[in-house]
Amino acid sequence: MKNYTSFLRKRTIPGLSLSPPDPESHPPHLARTSESGKPSMTGDERVAVQASHSRRFKKRKRVKLKRSRGKRREHAIVSPLVKKYWLQRYQLFSKYDEGVKLDEEGWYSVTPEEIAISHAERCRGRTVIDCFAGVGGNAIQFAILCHHVVAIDIDPQKIALAFHNAKVYGVADRIDFVVGDFFQLAPSLKGDIAYLSPPWGGPSYKMIQQFNLDLLKPKDGYSVFQAAQRITPNIIMFLPRNMDLNQVEELSWLSSPPLHVEIEENYVDGNFKGITAYFSDVASRQA
Ligand SMILES: C[S@@+](CC[C@H](N)C(=O)[O-])C[C@H]1O[C@@H](n2cnc3c(N)ncnc32)[C@H](O)[C@@H]1O
């Protein structure tokens, strides 16, 4: 079929038109009908229809090929570090194929969507300060379920990506994006809940037998927690799965009286991804 059409294009065949045939060109007395009574096509018309089917078939094939090439090319350009996370891309963003974008740090530090949804459910209807917003994994889910979100990141590229991704999810207008240092901004921030997802120091955190608060970046976990307390005692902290839980509990003793605390393990498809500590109002009282 492929060769046949290109053959037709290259040679001029008398009477062959690749555009729909003109009904006027066949006088009524010459119009032939099939057994069903419908007008049957002339040889030239049949060739023209076949050529147009072939063109459509070729176009569909080209689009398919382009899409699969695009996916293969994307797979090829991700760095070996990112590849593992790219393979889990729909766990990170269910709308990944609709245009979600991440930088290298974003790939390994974004909160998986299912966990981000469970964090957002705790904050339903309230105003959340996402103090380390990254590429927007949490901020997007807060925007879907909460009253309002302030998303802060020190890296302008992260805020640009978070804004872009929030647009993909249709919630960009429900988030205030701020490029800035959380520690400097904290005293002037107001909100019901402070959400803390500070850097864990890269994927190598997994190699450490027991992670501790001093290993968090850019400052230790105590400093991060104390800065958040300037905003509100209602704090959610997302931490590595190998975190020393005694230290997390001790954070509640930084307040007097001590804050109520709940610690939850987070799994995605049976894989242990991290732990979440909820303090004060956002902690479940039954825990
Ligand atoms: C673990 S990532 C956050 C991921 C985010 N929860 C998500 O789901 O996309 C931590 C982020 O903290 C940002 N960060 C580091 N130091 C900061 C600071 N002093 N103030 C605000 N953001 C900071 C980094 O640029 C990084 O994007």
What would the pLDDT profile of 99-155 be if each residue is shown by its tens digit?
999 999 999 999 999 999 999 999 999 999 999 999 999 999 999 999 999 999 999
What would the pLDDT profile of 145-189 be if each residue is shown by its tens digit?
999 999 999 999 999 999 999 999 999 999 999 999 999 999 999
Quote the pTM value: 0.77
pLDDT of residue 3: 40
Cite the beta strand spans of the chain per DSSP E.
127-130, 148-153, 175-179, 193-196, 235-239, 261-268, 271-279
What would the pLDDT profile of 27-84 be if each residue is shown by its tens digit?
333 333 344 444 556 777 777 767 777 777 777 777 676 666 655 556 556 788 899 9
pLDDT of residue 285: 64
Give the pLDDT mean for 2-10: 36
The mean-pLDDT minimum among 38-47, 191-200, 219-228, 253-262 falls in 38-47
**Distance from the CA of 140 to the center of ligand 1, in angstroms?**
14
**Distance from the CA of 170 to the center of ligand 1, in angstroms?**
22
Question: Ligand 1, atom 25: nearest CA belongs to which residue?
Answer: 155
**Distance from the CA of 107 to the center of ligand 1, in angstroms?**
12
In order of 176, 183, 258, 283, the CA distances from 254 in angstroms are 30, 18, 7, 16
pLDDT of residue 41: 61
DSSP H or E stretch at residue 162: helix 156-168
Judge whether residue 17 has pLDDT over 50.
no
Decide: 154 in ligand 1 pocket, CB within 6 A: yes
Judge whether residue 10 has pLDDT over 70.
no
| 26 token code pair | 């066949």
Q: Is 10 helix (H, G, I), strand (E, B) or coil?
A: helix
Query: Maximum CA pair distance of the chain?
Result: 101
Question: Ligand 1, atom 27: nearest CA belongs to which residue?
Answer: 134
pLDDT of residue 57: 77
DSSP H or E stretch at residue 149: strand 148-153
pLDDT of residue 76: 54
pLDDT of residue 185: 98
Judge whether residue 196 has pLDDT over 80.
yes
Judge whether residue 11 has pLDDT over 70.
no
Decide: 138 in ligand 1 pocket, CB within 6 A: yes
